[in-house]
Amino acid sequence: QKFDITQKETWRKAMREKWNIPADATVYGFVGRITRDKGINELFAAYRELLRQAPDTYLMLVGNEEKPELLDPELYAWAQQELHVLFCGHTNVVEQHLAAMDVYLLPSYREGTPKTVLEAMACGRPAITTDAPGCRETVTDGVNGLLVPVKDVDAIVAAMEKLLDEKKYLDVCRQYVKDHVGLLLHLCGKRAEQIKLTDENVSLYRQIPETEGFLESYRNEIILKLLEYYHGKNTKEIIP
């Protein structure tokens, strides 16, 4: 199984060793086309600011560069020479890279179905993404991640700082995605026409352990929203 969570720690250790990342470092990550519309300029600017305050962090970029001439040349040049920014290129084992990350970022201007956010959650990683169509449907702000305005560098920095500094909050986010990992794996592994609000799917969410505190009030709403969101979507939007 692609997202075999029993392998997560093994993958995490191996991938961090491959890229010379200390075991205790906080790693922010992005998966996708490295291009302007994915919010890469804002991501570079935000991480450069964060790195001044937290020099033991890393930024891992997984995917091919696309039209780099459209990126801010100064930011792009900085990212290429910065040792803590890792350009990992294309991969067929995205789950192993996600396991090496602590926080997933998708500061995209627009999305259809951001499958990578769900994949990150399936690996137990909270996400920072934009309050844009597509993105906002995958994250409930303050529960399984944080939403930021589109093209807002300061907001991205603040969100990164929040997940870096408030370890208890990070643990809560991780517990949420851990509690819901069965459903997320189910969604990531099924074609669109198979994701329907059937009794079988309802029983899936009922099998997920109850969460505590403020997370409990979101439980049914989020799971049903995920099922509804994927019901009827074009298969190519979910399965590459």
What mean pLDDT is predicted for residues 30-51? 96
What per-residue confidence (pLDDT) applies to 11? 92
Pair 21, 51: CB distance under 8 Å: no
**pTM (predicted TM-score):** 0.71
- Residue 210's pLDDT is 43
* Section 24-51 average pLDDT: 95
> Which of 28-42, 136-150, 173-187, 209-223 is predicted most confidently?
28-42
Summarize pLDDT for 160-218 with one digit per residue, the tens.
998 887 655 555 655 665 565 555 555 555 443 344 444 454 444 444 444 433 333 33
**pLDDT of amino acid 61:** 97
Residue 141: per-residue pLDDT: 86
Beta-sheet strand order (sheet of 103-106): 85-89, 57-62, 26-31, 103-106, 127-130, 145-148
The per-residue pLDDT for 27 is 94
Instruction: Provide mean pLDDT across the span 91-119.
Output: 89
Q: How far apart are CA 83 and CA 208, in angstroms?
A: 41
Contact 211/172 with Cβ under 8 angstroms? no
Percent of the chain with pLDDT over 70: 67
Considering only CA atoms, give the Rg of the chain.
17
CA angle at 147 for the pair 42 and 170, rounded to the nearest 5°: 100
What's the average model confidence in pLDDT over 67-84? 94
Number of Cβ within a 10 Å radius of residue 165: 11
Res. 139: pLDDT tops 80: yes
